[in-house]
Structure 1
């Protein structure tokens, strides 16, 4: 069975937080017999910052961000059993909706939203968006978070069905490693600079750091070079996926800060949450509804409502306690939140939907 998947990038995590999610889901689906072609545009210098070679479990087509190249890749949708257009591709997002029209009659058509709260806010603000019209003719919306609020919102906008496929961990990719002095810190944060998260990062990370001159803070991610920071913060720029395990395994604790819309909606654990847990990190996350669905607060994750609580939680940590929390988090995600488990769910869903479409067309 063939999947045509149109997304931001499989090969590069540069300005592309969904990379490990795509890799985890698609790689695990390959083990179940699905053959995926992933189409990604050559934009934002992602191809110059690849952190993965083309894998043997997916065919990757990198296309120029031009109308003619777009037409070529859209036309290939006709060869697939399942056609997926993800949110936030970054080039010709509206025009890529044409892949659904190019798909054959018995294909399964899916919009896969990797930033559902933001996408929903955009559609509510602009009722004439092409995506909003396209929803009415799709078989399914999948999201990588959002829970009941997002499901209800998509149904209200006309989606036939909306099902969250949550982030998870690939234990072969994210696992504990030896400490690396490049990432030594009391608290580390890995996050690209984005407008809808910057103020929260100030509140939960930069301002606490400014009040803690005797602590060490490490910031990784793109876009922060011109940001004013306290001397206690060391900024190291983009951190490739190959270094994520060391980044998560080395500090005393690792911080997760949600984007505004995801924190407000809840039920939206970022990929970083599972990457850190998979590496056995002691994770501190900002508070959001539904966190207990994934990790137990106080036992497998520490939850902070503001910057002062981040500092209070740090003050209560030593290496032994941090290691206990990290080990508990790793046990939980390996038992309940792996991409192999997510892929089994997606495999069953795809097969059920394809059977329904075949039955409908035969009637």
Structure 2
């Protein structure tokens, strides 16, 4: 690992956070409210079991193979041919996340902010900047995550202003929706943590491998807190009946905030949130191109980044409108979550067996 590719603990943590926060946070409250009603926030907290499991596996694997990512280990344990197939399936997941978020944010921006730009204009502009950052490697991507996170942190606080016009009665009775519905709602919140799997590919980049688990826990606590607070805020402000009528309930909450001099908080919130979506696309795009370079070693990583530029734009445009995109995502995500759990768990098992044999 080259020194200029090493990530600090902060950059590593923020890359994990950036990979998880996607366009879904704007719709997450509705996804769980439809199933768990006023107890949707409980489903959100329980959904964190998935990223906790992923970090646990990554921490164990990296402790035994700190300089070999899961793609290298996959070829070792499954053989080159089968390993490459599994690796490609795993990597396409990140390409899917990157293009899906790009499609979603282009739709949001077109509706709420830049009516004069069509989807193609937004996608091309987005991918030009992302390609530039990814082309310059992990350190550039890490710095980008650091800058955007701290420069836009206020976006997490803006919706909280609406608390003054909320009613705590909307969240009662707690557990009133029933335990079964709360458990069913976990499926939706699990998808909201999608992206945490990049940890299996970027853990060799971390400066101090011993801090990987701590960085992982920090990212999970932060994301779970934001998701839970936004869901509770949506419930107490809009109520479970009104919330499901809006496509992006979190945006609706910010539209209600009125402060002298500032005409509408919606534009400020969406501008800041767009940068966060940009970071999500960048992280997943980087992991995909980096991993693809390990699968197709004859082509240089930087060349792969440039070759994928037009392909990513075209694929991002194929998701259709927001409703069609969410429907497609709803079908493919359960399949990928199961694959990711099985694939990463098998690698961890093989690592354990190998380590036991080495000891004996």
Q: Which fold has the larger relative contact order, with Cα–Cα distance below 8 Å and residues 6 or more apart in sequence?
A: 2
The structure where strand makes up a greater share of residues is: 1
The TM-score with structure 1 as length reference comes to 0.26
Give the TM-score normalised by structure 2: 0.26
As a proportion of its length, which structure holds more helix? 2
